[in-house]
Structure 1
Amino acid sequence: MPTALITGASAGIGKAFAEELAARNTNLVLVARSEEELNELAKQLREKYHIQVDVIVKDLTEPGATGAVFDFTKEKGLTIDLLINNAGFGDYGDFAEADEERQIKMVQLNVLALVDLTHKFMRLMRERRSGSIINVSSLAAFQPIPYLSVYAASKAFVRSFSEALWAENRQYGIRVLVSCPGPTETNFFTEANFPPELASRTNEVSTVEEVVRETLKALERGDSTVVIGGFSTHLITKLAGIVPRKTLLNILEKQFRV
């Protein structure tokens, strides 16, 4: 029976991945900060699907956290067949006025923890010549976004990094996919302190279940990248390559300014 490790597993897309993979008879290692929610989810999945579910309560922005996650799997003798780097958060606002620590933690979680976990588990996948990695990015990866500057930049990093790894690792039998969902029914806007008037403009919102299903289908196809959403979501991914950069940035600044 395969085993998947999912970060940010206690809610949103991460929780939906856990539920879908459990239904597919996959053992799980669930990582998140929220101990109560994580333990409750693990209990439900064990009882419903009769799978092994291990829980790691960790804040991945803390020093040594990614190493502790990796060591846990080694001590338990677990082979991670699928790594899902889903943990991440955003923060709306003028960068110069934003909380400095929160911006740094965003880079630590969205970028550094993802790179470290990918490196640690990819080495073992290379040795076995098998395994899969899903890195969850965002529609924000396709263009800079004023007032979401660090978040968009971090997701652009995840997209570029993942696509490069897809090309590097095909010869080793390892699949790497970056998933770029558009607006999704999660608590992202609330946690990112998004102004309600901006959040209310969002249309074509995907469910977390749709994001998970489309992502897993793309992984099975061997794709490097999947964009999830309606027509306008896919259109946005093309604009950065068509509209002059200065024009695009002026449009986005006005669109995201309150």
Structure 2
Amino acid sequence: MARETALITGASSGLGIAFAEDLAKRGYNLILSARGAAAMETLASRLREQYGVDVAVQPADLSQPQGAAGLIAALDERGLSPSVVVNNAGIGLNDRFIDQHPDRLTAMLHLNILAVTELTRCYGQRMDAVGGGHILLVASLAAYMPAPLLAAYAASKAYVLSLGEALHVELAPKVGVTVLSPGYMNTGFDAASGFQPTPMTQRSALSPEKVAGIGLDTLFKGKSSVVAGTANTLAAAVAKVLPRDFIARQAYKTTGAQNDAS
């Protein structure tokens, strides 16, 4: 039986690498996509040797307006058709909303919302036509609550959460759609976004490997969504019952004070 193929976006670092490793262990051939090719080529060589899977590397910048369409076209030209899509690529901006650079803000929204939407629509349509497939959308714990200083990022992830939970019903039973919402992880998010984690946030951190396993297990069990980690699951549950204005004010006090002290 031919191996199935999984596409992973944001595959050059952090959680993306963890997804690639986990899927290779499960026997999937891989398509790795991110902006920089060098790190992905190194990862691809290791996974080929270690797990005996085929690994294709396709660079793409999904933060640009034609990024998702370009990736799809490039994979079509190479005859690569994934049966699993992991929409992992995403960036964050941590600062006062009105102080964020408009170009960076636009790029983040393209990546976190529009690229995810386009890849999900295209491959969801194709999976529906052939009668099967899986799509994992990576949101965030921030999707469950207003997050001052991460306002647009949290809003973009709330979109991803809502989209995925709706498509889980709409595309069933042919296409399985699941949303994974991680909390804080020790990845490159801090440096890229300017986020300063609180000590409590750092204590609740899970490894990217743990989070990837939780997400993929939930995807293949056919569930709609999962928040990774007990502490994060509790935080998401609390956010559903407390007034959103209260949550926003408390988050602002905590993150604002932490950032001022850094």
Instruction: Give yes or no for contact 1:189–1:199 (8 Å, CA) kept in 2.
Output: no
Instruction: Give yes or no for contact 1:183–1:229 (8 Å, CA) kept in 2.
Output: no
Distance 1:91 1:18 in 2: 25
Distance 1:133 1:199 in 2: 32
Task: Give 3-state SS (helix, strand or coil) of 1:147's partner.
Answer: coil
Q: Deviations over 1:109-163 (max 9, x none)?
A: 0111000111111111010110000001110010010000011001100000000
Aligned to 1:110: 112
Q: Deviations over 1:26-63 (max 9, x none)?
A: 11110001221011111111222222111111111223
Distance 1:63 1:234 in 2: 34
Distance 1:79 1:98 in 2: 37
Aligned to 1:145: 147
Aligned to 2:244: 245
State which drifts further: 57-66 or 82-91.
57-66
Question: What is the RMSD computed on CA atoms of the aligned residues?
Answer: 1.3
Say whether residues 1:216 and 2:216 are aligned partners: yes
Instruction: Give yes or no for contact 1:182–1:233 (8 Å, CA) kept in 2.
Output: yes
Say whether residues 1:8 and 2:7 are aligned partners: no
Distance 1:104 1:157 in 2: 15
Say whether residues 1:159 and 2:158 are aligned partners: no
Aligned to 1:185: 186
Distance 1:117 1:55 in 2: 17
Say whether residues 1:48 and 2:47 are aligned partners: no
| Unaligned residue ranges in structure 2 (runs of 5+) | none
Say whether residues 1:233 and 2:235 are aligned partners: no
Task: Give 3-state SS (helix, strand or coil) of 2:134's partner.
Answer: strand
Distance 1:38 1:100 in 2: 29
Distance 2:248 2:68 in 1: 35
Aligned to 2:35: 33
Task: Give 3-state SS (helix, strand or coil) of 2:32's partner.
Answer: strand
Distance 1:241 1:39 in 2: 42
Distance apart, 1:64 and its partner CA: 2.0
Distance 1:213 1:86 in 2: 14
Distance 2:91 2:149 in 1: 14
Task: Give 3-state SS (helix, strand or coil) of 1:241's partner.
Answer: helix
- The 4+ residue runs of structure 1 with deviation greater than 3 A are 198-201
Q: Deviations over 1:192-216 (max 9, x none)?
A: 1123xx4444221101111111111
Amino acid at match of 1:227: V
Aligned partner (choices 60, 76, 91) of residue 93 of structure 2: 91
Distance 2:91 2:67 in 1: 17
Q: Deviations over 1:57-105 (max 9, x none)?
A: 1111223221121122222222211000000011111111111111111
Distance 1:19 1:79 in 2: 19
Distance 1:242 1:62 in 2: 37
Aligned to 1:60: 62
Distance 1:246 1:69 in 2: 40
Say whether residues 1:175 and 2:180 are aligned partners: no
% of aligned pairs identical?
37
Task: Give 3-state SS (helix, strand or coil) of 1:58's partner.
Answer: coil
Instruction: Give yes or no for contact 1:10–1:38 (8 Å, CA) kept in 2.
Output: yes
Give me the TM-score of the superposition, normalised by structure 1: 0.94
Structural mapping, 1:120-131, within 5 Å: 120-131=122-133
Amino acid at match of 1:70: I
| Unaligned residue ranges in structure 1 (runs of 5+) | none
Distance 1:49 1:243 in 2: 46
Distance 2:147 2:154 in 1: 6
Distance apart, 1:182 and its partner CA: 1.3
